Amino acid sequence: MGWFNGWFGLDNSGSDPLRRLDPKLREFLEKESPVKYNTPTPPTPQLHQQQPSPPPQHTQQEKQERKQPQSDITQQQQQQQQQKPAVPPESLYPDGRYAHLWKTYRPLSAIEAETKTDNEKLTDVLEAFKERKAQIGRAALENCAEEQFDWTACMKSGSWTARMTMCRDEVRKFERCYNAQSRLLKALGYLSVQGRNPEVDEEIQMRADELFHRMLAQEKEIEKAREEGRAVPAFKPLLEEKKEVGGTAAGPAAKSPDAYEPSEATVAAWKEKLAKLPPEDREAEEKALRAEHRAKAELAAQVQNLWQEQAKEREKRKAEGKETIMDRFSALAGSWSGPKST
């Protein structure tokens, strides 16, 4: 049955299907068959010799970098970074790509500042002062969140007696916290410097909350000593242990603290106000009054500088023959009642 297996491809003994035919028949088929069949030749085994890989060749740049000291490499890297074209922070590619497109870039705030009128500039200064006071109030509310929560909880689910008195104790506790936190924030210089890192103001806010709770702890110790008949313990002033966290206020006027000293009439009014407060609140209130006075003095200095700049611009337009009707009106109004420094 060997021939039967060979016809159906069941013979795996060799790769030549004509090896079992008669030599004469095989010769006849090779001559007369339209399809020529070539007897496959067995492959000759080849020995593949593994040649050793050539040693790694270092480039000329790597050789120079090995010979070059590390300090020189660091200097070259710094020079390459300095040679990169600078791009503004608004660019998505800080590595310097598309820097030629940013050469004429100007922030929108700078463009708006140039096109603002004198009235708009003055309004911006006043609005910034109002926003500062509002932010101080919001910071005080954040520090008094616990007292505010107690007040709200009392109004919702407090005792019958507490709700009949409109939660008077919780309201007093909240008011005491809010007023004390506002004083401490002003005294420590919260938002006293424009354009300062927000982390500094956040540190001042945390410092004010810490001093408030320390003040409450001291009041408890004083009350306990009085109940036990002991001598009242003396504590160091809270605001003299650590000076203003963010430094002294340095507005556009950049004046010394002596330039913002209040008048004698102002100090007398402060003394009358401080006499009505408890002794533990007088120190913080006095510091807050001085900080508020300094902020108002800086505001007046900013307005004064703004008026002077506007006067110079009007004089320049008048010299160039470009004086407007508003310039004449402003000059006339200024001659009647010019701005006076406080």
Mean pLDDT to the nearest integer, 140-159: 93
pLDDT band at 202 (very low <50, low <70, confident <90, very high): very high
pLDDT band at 203 (very low <50, low <70, confident <90, very high): very high
225 vs 221: CA distance, rounded Å: 6
pLDDT band at 3 (very low <50, low <70, confident <90, very high): very low
Among 126, 129, 119, 125, residue whose Cα is nearest residue 333: 119
Judge whether residue 321 has pLDDT over 90: no
129 vs 259: CA distance, rounded Å: 19
Question: Between 309 and 6, whose confidence is greater?
Answer: 309
Among 249, 260, 279, residue whose Cα is nearest residue 341: 260
Mean pLDDT to the nearest integer, 207-218: 93
User: Which pLDDT score is estimated for 315?
Assistant: 83
Please name the residue that has the structure tokens 């300062």.
196
Among 306, 266, 255, 267, residue whose Cα is nearest residue 125: 306
User: Which pLDDT score is estimated for 253?
Assistant: 40
Do the beta carbons of residue 88 and residue 102 sit within 8 Å?
yes
Over residues 263-315, the pLDDT tens digits come to: 889 989 999 989 988 887 888 888 889 888 888 888 888 888 888 888 888 88
Contacts of 162 (CB under 8 A, 6+ apart): 154, 168, 169, 170
User: Which pLDDT score is estimated for 73?
Assistant: 57
Over residues 233-267, the pLDDT tens digits come to: 888 888 865 444 444 443 444 455 556 788 889 98
User: Which pLDDT score is estimated for 332?
Assistant: 65
Q: Helices 118-143 and 279-319 sit at what angle, rounded to 10 degrees?
A: 160
Share of the chain above pLDDT 70, in %: 65
Residue length of the chain: 342
Among 180, 272, 162, residue whose Cα is nearest residue 219: 180
Q: What is the pTM of this model?
A: 0.58
Distance of CA 270 to the CA centre of its chain: 38
User: Which pLDDT score is estimated for 104?
Assistant: 77
Alpha-carbon distances of 218 from 146, 179, 239, rounded to whole Å: 19, 18, 14
Mean pLDDT to the nearest integer, 161-188: 92
Mean pLDDT to the nearest integer, 177-200: 89
What type of residue is 139?
A
Over residues 28-52, the pLDDT tens digits come to: 767 666 555 555 555 554 444 445 5
User: Which pLDDT score is estimated for 178?
Assistant: 95
Domain ranges for the chain, please list them.
Answer: 135-248, 255-342
C-alpha count within 13 angstroms, C-beta hemisphere, residue 105: 13
Helices (H) and strands (E) in the chain, counts: 13, 0
Question: Between 55 and 20, whose confidence is greater?
Answer: 20
pLDDT band at 333 (very low <50, low <70, confident <90, very high): low
Alpha-carbon distances of 5 from 12, 13, 26, 80, 164, rounded to whole Å: 9, 11, 19, 78, 111
Mean pLDDT to the nearest integer, 184-189: 92
